[in-house]
A and B are shown apart, each in its own frame.
Chain A
Amino acid sequence: MVIAGSGGPRLAAVNRAAEAGGVGPGMPLAHARAVLPGLEAAGADPKGDHRALAALAQWAGRYTPWTATDAEGNGIWLDISGCAHLFGGEAALMADLDRRLTALGYETRLAAADTPGAAWAVTHFAAASGTPAVIPSGAQTEVLATLPVAALRLQPDVVEGLRRMGLRRIGDLLNVPRAPLTVRFGAAPLQRLDQALGHTDESIKPHRPLPPMRTRLAFAEPISQRSDIDAALGQLLDAMCRQLAATRQGARGLRLNFYRTDATTFEVTIGTSRPVRDADHLDRLFRNKLDNIDAGFGIEAMILAATVTDPLDPAQADLQGDSAKERTGVTDLIDRLGNRLGPKRVLRLQPRASHLPERASRPVSALARDDTPADPLPGNKAPRAPRPVRLLPTPEPIEVMAPVPDHPPVMFRWRRAQHRITRADGPERIGPEWWLEPPRALAGGQSRIRDYFRIEDTDGVRFWVYRAGPYQAGTPPKWYLHGFFP
């Protein structure tokens, strides 16, 4: 794993094989490659690491409600006061934790102690991998005394300063008068020492997960009538839209779970082409899908969850109390068709910056999040030749009469109809996108150019035709019709 640093990328973390090969964190990548030529590197993701750690902390909530990631960002605290007995004591809890984490693919260093500081020190400086350590109550002084002062979670410069004084172990600090030490190194060493030894309290700030967008409805009597289900859905959607409004979000995807009395469940999902918190609209989208539900012996609960949300600012209500309708008929239609036919069946075109007409747009799912970049058509400012309104799916060959090869046609035949040309402009020469065809890219595609002409026939119909390839004496040129201008 590499991370950008001054003077080029540096290693952020290495696996066992790389470590054995003699490279380690902090080394410049170039240097590491010199040492270990086969080294494979990938970008580090500190934010992702932190997210994963936070998720793990949340997962550890199975042991205690008080879990948190530590300030150094490489460990997790569990305050198991009063919880250990539920798992058969501290040692059993630790063994269970170790087993589960190992099963998840993690390597563990675990310690339990009276104080967070002591546990941290032991995990980082004494515990063996995979062997949970339980420091007996009141024994932390003895255990800590032999550990280096760095185990007190001190800044590196403080550790270095203490080392220069010959104070290397925590035990060395115990014998130094406190006042002179504080004068020279600030409060941190003794505060951390006191915390680790239990002379001062240190609390763990727990990790709080964000409340999910969920509403739930349980029925005293199982329901199975369509009308009851619709009514319940209405209630759920109202509650959901209130929640969304409170957080200024709009739903892009919703999931409705049904719990039948026979302990089976099923679900219905919908998606929308843009953030919505209009209960009516969402209701319509759901109803289409509820037509053939099987309520079985009855439904005892329904849970509605927003699976995807996007920011949506509150809308101004008008004097009649109706919120201004932001959506248009088209987006409603897109949502309804999309949910009925499947998200990949309803497409819209996204513009793409390409000179080649057939590559100038691409189809995307109409329900997909709009990921059009801020500047969808880079370089679009420069004036460009006009494009036809209608493009044939594939260019169709035509028979052409053109006087000089560089000139536009004077007459052409398409689908057996003859067209006499009265006006023309061109050519617009378009080369192929050479980078999409690597084997022959380097020629620059000069042989596969097209010369496009805008032409108008005697009836005033305007065509877009092109000649394929450059003019070559002796070879009759090939012409194609590609589109129509209004």
Chain B
Amino acid sequence: MGGSAAYAELQVTSNFSFLNGASHPEELVETAAALGLSAIAITDRHSVSGLVRAHTAAKRAGIRLVIGARLDPEDGPPLLCYPTDRAAYGRLTRLLSLGKRRASKGDCRLTLADIFDTAEFMGGQGQVIIAVPPREPGDAFKSALLKLCKNLNCRLYLAVFVAHNGNHVAYIRTLLEYEKTYRIRLVATNNVHFHIPERRPLQDVLTCIREGCTIINAGFRLAANGERHLKSPDEVARLFHDMPDAVARTVEITEACSFSLDELRYDYPTDPVPPGLTPQQHLVNLTRDGAATRYPGNVPDKVNAGLDHELKLIGELGFAPYFLTVHDIVRFAEGRGILCQGRGSAANSAVCYCLGITAVDPARMDLLFERFISAERGEPPDIDVDFENGRREEVIQYVYEKYGRERAAMTATVITYRVKSAVREVGKVLGLTEDAIVALQGAAWRRSWDDIEDKHIRDAGLDPNEPTLRLTLELAGQILGFPRHLSQHTGGMVMTRSRLDEIVPMANAAMDERTVIEWDKNDLDALGILKVDILALGMLTCIHKAFGLIAAHHDRRVTLATVPAEDAAVYDMLCKADSVGVFQVESRAQMSMLPRLKPRNFYDLVIEVAIVRPGPIQGDMVHPYLRRRNGEEAVDYPSGALRQVLEKTLGIPLFQEQAMKIAMVGAGFSPEEADGLRRALATFRRLGDIHQFQDRFLAGMKKNGYAREFSERCFKQIEGFADYGFPESHAASFALLVYVSSWLKCHYPAAFACALLNSQPMGFYAPAQIVRDARGHGVRINPADVNLSDWDCTLEPGPADAPALRLGLRQVKGLKQAVADILVAARESYGRPANLESSNSLAFSSLPDLQRLTNLSKSALETLARADAFGSLGVSRRQALWAVRGLNDEQLPLFAAADAAEIRAEPIVVLPTMTLGEEVADDYRSLRLSLKAHPLGPLRGELTAQGYVPCGELEHLTDGRTVRIAGLVTTRQRPGSAKGVLFVTMEDETAVANLIVWPKVFEDFRSTALRAGLLGVHGHVQKEGLVIHVIADKLTDLSQLLAQLDNPDAGLPDPAGGTMTVASRDFQ
């Protein structure tokens, strides 16, 4: 570097100025360090969102980061603003918040008046500001400069850069004149937009994406050259050889602006603490009170010891306010009757159980608290709370109300370019046709970027050597992971004691009544700022509804915590894979795991939840675990130290914590390093960190005497976990919901099915399967009816004391809730005196009667008629439809009381009677299910003739037997972890069958496999204990039979699309 002057780059646009900068903050910072710059600033437009990443990278690379942002006032030149201290930083973020709060989402509107006069910014006091001149400075700029000199309350500089645009001499002369006239010092910058010259093409592509044009048509919107990259001090000295002072001033500014993000001391809100108590004292009191409630009589010694230990640790680390904050939110939800449950690393503690944050009894589990927060790690605790999905907004608004807009906000999520969006946008810029883009996306689909081979591109019908295609892939690869915009995190909330907008700018979210900060979860973690995730979970809604039904119809009151524990009947049920509707373990993969794992206690459920995940599946941990569990393989440990880590799971790592722990115990990683590894794997696959970690890991393992082969396997497992692993603490919270929902299904099948139906859409199964399953468990299901159904499904007295389930009008496709409400209200106000014995007790006695009392529109009545909801009036579907269509749309008041039939005497029309097949088909059209028959029932004769046996026969067949079955396809799955295998679930009137289609067969019958609604299978039976699969050899599309079902007049072409279809849920 020789004797060149020190230089700091102060004008840097990163890719967090969306579509303006072409490098990640990390890349800029690392390159600046490598070039030997004395410091670097990141000055994104109206934003600090890239600063935390830059901050972390700068610390790692050993270079000073100058904190700053670029302000673009609407009536003045751009200003680069650098706070000199913490207070000035707070003023800058408040100014940005002001501009953002008054603009629409993603925008910021500021004027010079805001900068000069507002109390938020104090005229720039404590800032260093650099004004950026336009390309051809003129009178407008001159007068703006004058204004800045007069009104700014801080050091003001003028940026000068060598723009290489042909008027350098004149430009410099003008700026030197300003320097003299206004006594504003010039400071050298390179107006950096990317870190290396090779990013010029990407920069041009970003410009085109921003402008919505192709590269061919971009014209002068592109820069003439690629000069806006980082330059070494030598080069800068050469460029500014006639202005050494301007170069030296960069260092001067750097020294003045010593503020670092490390100074952001985060302070917990302390609102819930009563006066006179410290947060810790208050937490101890609350916990002790809670323990007394949780364990009436006496608290078990084990729990007491745990509480002492945990409280001590919390006290040492000063986390009490955090627990109190979460407790306060949970208590609010309880008060409103909103069901909730905590999860996350700190949630499964005795303290959280006693505070009511979770319902997992620590006495039932053996989770070590240290694993979640430990003194030496200094990692903040993490608690996510799930709420009923319909009512989460109440909780969020409560938090806003309690802390005020200045002190609470949602966290951001950085939406980044994914493979699909990257290929699409780059392809569009380079002029690829829509067709080529779609094909290329297909080739890249579900593959990591590095795995796209020429073969895949050729398979997509494209030539991998075509230069534009290559270019598209290369540039799309570069843009991958670039932030596109900020969005709000689903539920992460940050709360502070002092003003949050002095820590980070706040903006309006897309949703009204929400504010969102600029940093995401990783940024907050890096700065040690705590957040609470307020999430929504459909199953909690369902459980809450089921609890309500049990209280109303069985007079039994239960809560998450008081559902009887370890009920053998519940585990018996789960071992049989009888789990339709149950939380988490209802998927096809979980269902085939249940009879193999045979869960008998709560911890088995924790494992069950965690094991059927891409992480363990791809890491090939499932089978070894099952073999060890069934005693088919010896349980051994590579070392005593790892035994400690893996003992609970028989030597096989199943949880994310274990994977991290292997890195620590096995390879000697520090907790920070292990966490860094997790983050590196989860976020930035491209930055090359991974290889560094891998080398470090393998070396560490070797040093501790582990075999190379074992170490490599471990690292692969860790890789799998980073993306798709499940922490034990999460699994434990989920396992409780598995248990509770199983218990409900086992003992109160009608109430459970009813609650499930009323919580749709959720879970894995459609109403038809839920109803079918409930019937299989002896629940009587009554049809939806205008006289008897509410909007929701309800329970009504059934035979032999067991309640029957009455389908609600919500099942009727196309019916609005308002219509059902009118109907129910009318029933209540006009209901005849209750006389259960006579049909007179029905509110509506005839169709005209109903129309008169409810004044419902013809189309609403027709929707009801299609659903065959007039059964209680003794009117068939077809009669009802005919009658409804014949009604007058407006009621004539004069005739309101008269019988409509008398007014319009009509000739009697005899319509054909509906066949069972037609009824079933119409049921499916309108209700997506039929109580009258399974669609395959009426077709059985035809199916038998074609050699298909009922699915119910499968259990009587021996392993390996060839068989022909047919069924309605209910789900299709092609999980990424199964390498092209298609799993199909199908059903007929007798049973559900599970089909496995291997890739070879799939390719041969691709169209049929993906399209057939009614599938015929020629295959053979595979039995493994209770698990029965049919391995497909040949597939036949029998959908024509369904058309026949609906069309008694076979052979009639029906091009109007009236054929009945059965929607399957397809997952890929």
For B474, what are the chain A residues with a Cβ–Cβ distance below 8 Å?
442
Determine the chain A residues whose CB is within 8 A of the CB of B1047 once the complex forms: 168
> Are A37 and B434 in touch, CB under 8 angstroms?
no
Closest Cβ of chain A to B228, distance in Å, is 11
Query: Cβ of A164 and Cβ of B219 under 8 Å apart?
Result: no
- Which of A173-181, A239-247, A290-298, A322-330 binds B? A173-181
**Which listed segment binds B: A59-67, A364-372, A446-454?**
A446-454
> Once the chains are docked, how many angstroms separate the CA of A435 from the CA of B266?
49
The answer to whether B239 and A406 have CB atoms under 8 Å apart is yes
Q: Is B640 an interface residue (CB 8 A)?
A: no
Residue from A425, A429, A441 within 8 A of B224 (CB atoms): A429
Q: Which residue of A lies closest to B915 (CB)?
A: A166
Residues of A within 8 Å of B1049, CB to CB, are 168-169
A426 on the B face (CB < 8 A):
yes
Which A residues touch B225, using CB under 8 A? 355, 429-431, 449
| B229-282 at interface with A (beta carbon < 8 Å) | 238-239, 241
Q: Is A377 an interface residue (CB 8 A)?
A: yes
B296 is an interface residue with CB less than 8 A from chain A: no
Q: Which of A125, A159, A441 lies at the interface centre, i.e. has the most chain B CB atoms within 10 A of its CB?
A: A441
Please, which residues of chain A bring their CB within 8 A of the CB of B227? 429
Stretch among B587-595, B814-822, B905-913 lining the A interface: B905-913
> In the complex, what residues of B have CB within 8 A of residue A177's CB?
906-907, 909
B878 at the interface (CB under 8 A from A): yes
Chain B residue numbers with a CB within 8 Å of A172 are 912
Query: With contacts A30-B438, A159-B1056, A379-B220 known, is A446 near B907, CB below 8 A?
Result: no
Q: Which of B215, B221, B241, B434 contacts A9 (CB 8 A)?
A: B434
Give the chain B neighbours of A33 by CB distance below 8 A: 438-439, 442
Determine if B167 is an interface residue (Cβ-Cβ < 8 Å): yes
Q: Is the CB of B430 within 8 A of A435?
A: yes
Check B1055 against A444 for contact (C-beta < 8 Å): no
Contact string against A for B residues 195-223, beta-carbon threshold 8 Å, 1 for contact and 0 otherwise: 00111110010000001010111111110
**In contact, A36 and B1007 (Cβ under 8 angstroms):** yes
Q: Which residues of A contact B467 (CB under 8 A)?
A: 438-439
Complex CA gap A161/B878 in Å reads 10
Contact stretch, chosen from B29-37, B71-79, B879-887: B879-887
| Interface check B831, CB cutoff 8 A | no
A395 CB-CB contact with B under 8 Å = no
User: Is B1008 positioned at the interface, with any CB of A under 8 Å from its CB?
Assistant: yes
Given contacts A179-B906, A184-B885, A185-B885, contact A41 B435 (CB under 8 A): yes
- What chain A residues lie within 8 Å of B170 (beta carbons)? 425
Q: Does B777 contact A (CB under 8 A)?
A: no
* Max chain A C-beta neighbours (<10 A), residue from B165, B881, B913: B165
- Closest B-chain residue to A37, C-beta based? B459
Judge whether B1010 is part of the interface by a CB distance below 8 angstroms. yes
Whether B201 and A444, one on each chain, are in contact in the complex, defined by CB atoms closer than 8 angstroms, is: yes
- Option from B238, B459, B1007 in Cβ contact (under 8 Å) with A406: B238
**Is there an interface contact between A165 and B166, defined as CB atoms closer than 8 Å?**
no
| Chain A residues whose CB sits within 8 angstroms of the CB of B218 once the complex forms | 353, 378-379
- Please name the residue on chain B nearest to A380 by beta carbon: B220
Q: Is A40 an interface residue (CB 8 A)?
A: yes
Closest-CB distance, B242 to chain A (whole angstroms): 10
Contact yes or no, B909 A385, CB < 8 A? no
Contact: B201 with A434, CB < 8 Å? yes
Contact A169 B906 (CB under 8 A): no
Instruction: Given A377-B220, A431-B224, check contact A446 B197 (CB 8 Å).
Output: yes
B-chain residues with CB within 8 Å of residue A38 when the two chains form the complex: 461
Total A-B pairs in contact (CB under 8 Å)? 200
Interface status of B799 (Cβ within 8 A of chain A): no
A165 and B911: CB pair below 8 A? yes
Query: Which A residues lie within 8 Å of B363 (CB)?
Result: none
Is there contact, CB below 8 Å, between A427 and B164?
A: yes
Are the C-beta atoms of B909 and A425 separated by less than 8 Å?
Answer: no
Q: Does B557 contact A (CB under 8 A)?
A: no
* Residues 673 to 717 of chain B near chain A (Cβ within 8 Å): none
A431 touches B226 (CB 8 A): yes
Within 422-450 of B, Cβ neighbours of A (below 8 Å) are at 430, 434-435, 438-439, 442
Taken together as a complex, chains A and B put the C-alpha atoms of A113 and B723 apart, in Å, by 68
A163 contacts chain B at the CB level, 8 A cutoff: yes
- A183 interface contact, C-beta 8 A: yes
User: What 1/0 mask marks residues of chain A from 447 to 465 whose CB sits below 8 Å from any chain B CB?
Assistant: 0010110100000000000
In angstroms, Cα B882 to Cα A185, docked, is 10
Q: Are B1010 and A35 in contact (CB under 8 A)?
A: yes
A53 — which chain B residues lie within 8 A by C-beta? Answer: none
Q: How far is the CA of A444 from the CA of B228 in the complex (A)?
A: 12
Q: Contact string, A22-43, partner B, CB cutoff 8 A, digits 1/0?
A: 1100000111011111101111
The interface residues of chain A lying within 8 Å CB-to-CB of B238 are 406
For A42, list chain B residues within 8 Å (CB). 435
**Residues of A with C-beta under 8 A to B377:** none
A336 CA to B1007 CA in the complex, in Å? 63
B465-491 residues at the A interface, CB under 8 angstroms: 467-468, 470-471, 474-475
CA distance A451 to B164 in the complex (A): 8
Encoded as 1 (CB less than 8 Å from any B CB) or 0, chain A from 383 to 411 comes to 11110000000000000000010100000
B555 adjacent to chain A (CB < 8 Å): no
- Contact yes or no, B882 A165, CB < 8 A: yes
The answer to whether B459 and A438 have CB atoms under 8 Å apart is no
Contact call B1055/A150, Cβ cutoff below 8 A: yes
**How far is it, in angstroms, between the C-alpha of A38 and the C-alpha of B435 when the chains are bound?**
12
Known: A35-B1010, A177-B909, A184-B886. A379 touches B166 (CB 8 A): no
Whether, in the assembled complex, B1006 has its beta carbon less than 8 Å from a beta carbon of chain A, the answer is yes
B911 cross-chain contacts in A, Cβ below 8 A: 165-167
**A354-B1007 in contact (CB<8A):** no
Residues of B within 8 A of A164 (CB): 866, 878, 881, 922
Please provide the chain B residues from 557 to 598 with a CB less than 8 Å away from any CB of chain A in the complex: none
Task: Say which residue of A166, A183, A441 sits within 8 Å of B885 (CB atoms).
Answer: A183
Q: What chain A residues lie within 8 Å of B1007 (beta carbons)?
A: 21-23, 35-36
Docked-complex contact A165 and B878, CB < 8 angstroms: yes
| CB-based contact B886/A22 at 8 Å | no
- In the bound complex, do residue A428 and residue B166 qualify as a contact, i.e. CB atoms below 8 Å apart? yes
Q: A44 near B: Cβ within 8 Å?
A: no
Closest to A437 in B: B467
Chain A proximity mask over B1043-1058: 1 for CB below 8 Å, otherwise 0: 0000101001111111
| Given A176-B909, A429-B164, A449-B225, CB of A379 within 8 Å of CB of B198 | no
- Residue from B200, B909, B914 within 8 A of A445 (CB atoms): B200
Residues of B near A428 (CB, < 8 A) are 164-167, 224
What's the nearest-Cβ distance from chain A to residue B329, in Å? 38
A113 to chain B, nearest CB (A): 19
B241 — which chain A residues lie within 8 A by C-beta?
Answer: 404, 406
Asked if B907 and A386 sit within 8 Å, CB to CB, the answer is no
A378 to B241, CA, bound (A): 36
B219 touching A379, Cβ below 8 Å: yes
B455 interface residue, CB < 8 Å from A?
no
Q: For chain B residues 380-431, which have a beta carbon within 8 Å of chain A?
A: 430
Q: Which residues of A have CB within 8 Å of B239?
A: 406
Q: What per-residue 1/0 map shows which CB atoms of B910-943 lie under 8 Å from chain A? A: 0111100010001000000000000000000000
The 9 A-B pairs with the shortest beta carbon distances in the complex, nearest first, are: A353-B219, A22-B1007, A428-B166, A385-B166, A438-B467, A379-B221, A444-B200, A429-B164, A379-B220
Beyond the given pairs A35-B1006, A148-B1053, A184-B886, 9 more chain A to chain B contacts, judged by CB atoms under 8 angstroms and listed by A's residue number, are A35-B1007, A36-B1007, A166-B878, A352-B219, A353-B217, A377-B219, A426-B168, A435-B471, A438-B467
Give me the interface of A with B, judged by CB distance under 8 Å. 9, 21-23, 29-31, 33-38, 40-43, 125, 148, 150, 156, 159-161, 163-169, 172, 176-177, 179-180, 183-185, 352-355, 377-380, 382-386, 404, 406, 424-431, 434-435, 438-439, 441-446, 449, 451-452, 454
Question: Could you list 18 A-B pairs, sorted by A, with CB under 8 Å?
Answer: A33-B439, A150-B1056, A165-B881, A166-B878, A172-B912, A377-B220, A383-B136, A424-B169, A425-B170, A427-B166, A428-B167, A429-B227, A431-B225, A434-B201, A435-B430, A444-B197, A444-B200, A446-B198
